[in-house]
Structure 1
Amino acid sequence: MKNKLILLALCLWGFQGRAAKVDTIQVFSKAMQKNSPVVVITPDSYDKESSKNYPVIYLLHGYGGNFASWVKTVKSLPALADTYQCLIICPDGAFGSWYFDSPVDPSYKYETYVAEELVKYTDEHYRTIADRAHRAVTGLSMGGHGGLYLGIRHKDTFGAAGSMSGGVDFRPFPKKWDIAQRLGDYSANPDRWYQYTVMAQLPKLKNGDLQIIIDCGVDDFFIDVNRKLHEALIDMKINHDYTERPGKHNWIYWMNSVQYQCLFFSRFFNGDYPVVMNRN
């Protein structure tokens, strides 16, 4: 019995010794003149291997969420940092930022904040591999729009980008999610609305510029705009990984989806490019 207790204690010690660290920090945005909270997940080895640098996944929340939504809801998120030996950074995208710089509200500059200021801060304060080959950005819903919007517009910063149930074209929803507060009323500004969609960014892409992963549940209200994005990428001959699977616009779907996206990004970081043109 004593030996069994010793073995159990050793197992528990080993489990505790392999646990990612979750911190909440404040990062100042010069563009918005304010501090913004950020969850930083460092893998189990981070404090033990002082000479090792790590790749980074920037993980964006959806409308109505905040910087803590991912880590509070997806309990396996720290384990993913351990499994793939990467940092996971969860910024705050405020209430309805859609991760672009608003042309009508100067207090919403979340493209500049996430893609420039936060990346710079992370590289300066953490042991990262500070190049595009070891940075990825993705998110859910509003954050899925942000993942592809920022990834495409900042290909010099991010080498891979993803979207989970992303609102990649929000024009079919002109009255929802505070978009009109960021872009003005749709009926008066249809061209402006289009210019801030993921669809409008596609001409900036050439095949091989960016490793892309997109997925959406078949019962999600964003499924049609995701299918149109997928078809447009095929027409442009842009390699990408596209998946539809059973699911709705909810955490049950995203808790599953993030597992696949982190695997995709890990393979990218390791020099493997798992590009699939059409899988659904």
Structure 2
Amino acid sequence: MKNFRKKAFRLLALFFILQMQATLAASVDTVNTYSQAMKKNIKAVVIKPAGYDGSKALPVVYLLHGYGGNYADWVTKVKAVQQQADQLNMLIVCPDGGVGSWYWDSPADASFQYETYVSKELVSWVDEHYKTIRDRKGRAITGLSMGGHGALYLAIRHQDVYGAAGSMSGGVDIRPFPNNWDMAKRLGAYAKEPARWESHTVINQLHLLTPNSLALMIDCGYDDFFYKVNINLHEQLQYRNIPHDFVTRPGAHNWNYWSNSVLYQLLFMHEFFSR
């Protein structure tokens, strides 16, 4: 009888702990935003930490998906992202980047203006609808693959908007891949439009950086097909004396790698916000 009571008490205690955790868990809003540049509604996910009531301004991390993905990827495939929003007390916004947008304002397709959308229209919408730190000191951006390219490309070009940027397995130099991932649809064929390809690749944006103008974290696995271009980016940043965190470890271009990588990325952004 005594053992039964002890077991029942433990189960009851566990039940209340789980109830408290459920009550305190991050909440997820799926929202419709409007892009004037593209004349259409675009969905996004906004992850709010536990206890968010709009009374205190919070920092925001914009978390971008990869090619073939969408706004829901991070919340459906990596549940730990919601836990990080709680633990680090930040808002996390996951926009939809379209199919193969590469987060550019496409010079070849007026219906793909995702640089304007993410860095101007979406940021303004989030600041209007949530209690945010409306300053680059409270904004960061990161992403995987196409989104890793997008995060660095946007942050480097909009340092007045973002104070920190990261990349996970990012396509940080597009030029070795002229026939892949719809890039020719957005820029034109490399053979016909080489200047566009040169000006729309991350590695050719580095002249816009000065030491410590942007907090940077770059991450790529040894077995990733983007490994070499990430090594090249790291070496170019070193050559230009641009401080950055560079992480590489065993891993390929997949969700097993990104599920781990994103935790370090968000911690890096939290450290930036805390300075």
Q: TM-score, normalised by structure 1?
A: 0.94
Q: Does 1:121 align with 2:111?
A: no
Q: Distance in 2 between matches of 1:41 and 1:159?
A: 20
Query: Corresponding residue for 1:8?
Result: 14
Letter aligned with residue 7 of structure 1: A
Q: Distance in 1 between matches of 2:25 and 2:57?
A: 18
Identity %: 57
Q: If you compute each CA radius of gyration, which structure gives the higher value, 1 or 2?
A: 2
Query: Corresponding residue for 2:243?
Result: 239
Structure 1 residue matching 2:253: 3-state secondary structure: coil
Q: Distance in 1 between matches of 2:15 and 2:145?
A: 42
Q: Distance in 1 between matches of 2:13 and 2:56?
A: 31
Question: Where do 5+ consecutive residues of structure 1 fail to align?
Answer: 272-280
53, 66, 69: which one aligns with 1:65: 69
Give matches, 1:203-242, under 5 Å. Answer: 203-242=207-246
State how many pairs are aligned: 269
Q: Distance in 2 between matches of 1:191 and 1:4?
A: 67
The alpha carbon displacement at 1:4 in A equals 3.5
Q: Does 1:268 align with 2:272?
A: yes
150, 160, 173: which one aligns with 1:146: 150
Structure 2 residue matching 1:242: 3-state secondary structure: strand
150, 168, 172: which one aligns with 2:172: 168
Q: Distance in 2 between matches of 1:51 and 1:29?
A: 28
Query: Corresponding residue for 1:178?
Result: 182
Q: Distance in 1 between matches of 2:171 and 2:148?
A: 6
The alpha carbon displacement at 1:9 in A equals 3.0
5, 27, 37: which one aligns with 1:21: 27
Query: Corresponding residue for 1:102?
Result: 106
Q: Does 1:31 align with 2:26?
A: no
Query: Corresponding residue for 1:85?
Result: 89
148, 155, 159: which one aligns with 2:159: 155
The alpha carbon displacement at 1:88 in A equals 0.5
Letter aligned with residue 37 of structure 2: A
Q: Distance in 1 between matches of 2:37 and 2:217?
A: 29
Q: Distance in 1 between matches of 2:240 and 2:179?
A: 31
Q: Does 1:134 align with 2:146?
A: no
Q: Distance in 1 between matches of 2:193 and 2:111?
A: 20
The alpha carbon displacement at 1:5 in A equals 4.4
29, 42, 46: which one aligns with 2:48: 42
Say what the alpha-carbon RMSD is for the aligned residues. 0.9
Q: Distance in 2 between matches of 1:226 and 1:165?
A: 8
Q: Deviations over 1:103-133 (max 9, x none)?
A: 0100000000000000000000001111101
The alpha carbon displacement at 1:34 in A equals 0.2
The alpha carbon displacement at 1:260 in A equals 0.4
